[in-house]
Chains A and B, each alone.
Chain A
């Protein structure tokens, strides 16, 4: 394990940037989001980003291919898949788990070439939480250890020191390049800090959410629960929850006439939108209640039923803090889940 003074973090970022693009939480115009590191930018590791880092693997908008159309003939221009390496730094345990969820979708047969290419280019440096980032955090409910995030490199910030530990070959390669900026350590002070973090997490307000009954066996019971009728009432049908969510991966495919040809691109879509399932013959989810229910049923019942119990919620709490009407997944679990004593 390596460590360096947080005061020297810029030297670390600069070194990483020499060989790869570095993305990390940066404050711009008052908000923290994953952004490209540049000298002098306001790196803000201590706050939850508004958008999750899924953007780096599954961009909000992404070109799939282009067509040249002339008269009756069509020519396809295949896309150039990304090959440039990049480093994603400061990924919290919840978001690190979200990559597993996304992998299940995009890397299952047939593999999504675009996602796969980005995934291969990326090295993830995760950042263990030594206390819950916010009161809305509830990753522990999904069995995520906030202090031991998954990733190619694990990092922790304790006091004025940053600790770095490689977990994969990719991670070792990254740390080899920054080794001279750091000193070796056994990381002894971390153990107590991690325990403390877990203890604090256990006391976070949403840590007592109980997922009992959210599984394939209870699918129809949950689907038909009368509570949905009240839960959805104030839903605006906006896409805030979906677009800040690290695991939401539904997308739309659209064509854009550039004037020189047709660009086929995909963009994030939301099951909360009324046109999500609309086709010429109509839609199979006519009411906002059905659309609202779909989002939560998918995360808490359908996905785990298809993926050995892995939920497609990681408890990052972004939707909890951002839903304009406070109709978030925590409320749904509280209402329809078990009642933990």
Chain B
């Protein structure tokens, strides 16, 4: 391990799972030992992944810290680097550096709480790390609700894990929804914010939300109507990042650097920042 923050370690991709038409989940292990994580992290923290010559970008670490033999990244294909990642094969080496950011306060503020996770589309990626961490430390947390929606049933990320593990876990309720009706779908249909209103959660719970900005905006409204305070709702942000260590300047919002002071913020904290995210 060197102490130069910008120099990455090498990881190797050991498996690639296609979750949806535009999301793949990559399993990465250390290249030198062929096993294990590149570094330890906490739920909600991020890593800079890169293919030299293509680019480097920040991704949330999808796997839980309790998974110590590999790291996972669920990545949606949307730009230059992600397109490259989507066309690569198993055995490809990538550079990894991190962990970056604060992560969700799983050992402090969230401990002992009843929790509601609300995710849309690829927004489940950073929350999966938290959910799996909590399931592994089940006694430390109260009841867990998971509301997850996508455009269609094909666009639900991690659906096998959701069905086979989360739905069977003790004291966990999973509420799936898709935007429009589909022939072989007998679950809920409708947008996430409306579904949240319909489900009507007890406003003493704590909420973790991640998804497209428009979903977050309306979900916040729904939560407000249900009686939730902004101090009970957490989210994680995505901005352009280059250094990951609060120096290159581009993820600066007000007095915060999202890569370092975030990416996890409570909504009352966001209210104190300029509206530029």
A-side interface residues toward B, CB under 8 Å?
A: 64-65, 67, 69, 72-76, 78-79, 105-106, 108, 110-113, 216, 219-220, 223, 249-253, 255, 257, 262, 264, 266, 269, 271, 276-281, 283-285, 290, 294, 297-298, 302, 305-306
Contacts and interface: CB of A to CB of B under 8 A. Distances in A.
Interface in B67-116: 78-80, 82, 88-89, 91-95
Contacts, number: 126
B252 A294 contact: yes
B239 A279 contact: yes
Most buried by B among A278, A283, A294: A294
Given A269-B248, A290-B276, A251 B242 contact: yes
Contacts of B54: 255
Nearest to B90: A72
B276 A284 contact: yes
B1 interface: no
Contacts of B10: 74-76
A280 B250 contact: no
Interface of B: 2-8, 10, 31, 52-57, 78-80, 82, 88-89, 91-95, 238-240, 242-243, 245-255, 272, 274, 276-277
B6 A65 contact: yes
A253 B6 contact: yes
B250 A250 contact: yes
11 contacts: A64-B7, A74-B93, A74-B94, A219-B255, A257-B53, A277-B240, A279-B239, A279-B240, A280-B79, A281-B78, A297-B274
Given A255-B53, A257-B53, A283 B240 contact: yes
A65 B7 contact: yes
Contact of B4 (A113, A255, A266): A113
A72 B93 contact: yes
Contacts of B3: 110-111, 113
Chain B at the A interface: mostly helix, strand, loop or mixed?
loop
B99 to A, nearest CB: 12
A110 B5 contact: yes
Nearest to B89: A72
B7 A271 contact: no
Contacts of A255: 52-56
B213 to A, nearest CB: 9
B240 A306 contact: no
A223 B253 CA distance: 11
A74 B91 CA distance: 11
Nearest to A303: B255
A149 to B, nearest CB: 26
Contacts of A305: 255
Contacts of A65: 6-7
A250 B249 contact: yes
Contacts of A111: 3, 5
A211 B126 CA distance: 42
Given A74-B93, A78-B7, A277-B251, 6 more contacts: A74-B95, A250-B249, A284-B240, A284-B253, A285-B276, A302-B255
A291 to B, nearest CB: 10
A302 B6 CA distance: 24
B13 to A, nearest CB: 9
Given A112-B247, A262-B53, A294-B252, A76 B93 contact: no
A4 to B, nearest CB: 40
Contacts of A298: 249, 252
Nearest to A271: B249
A301 B2 CA distance: 35
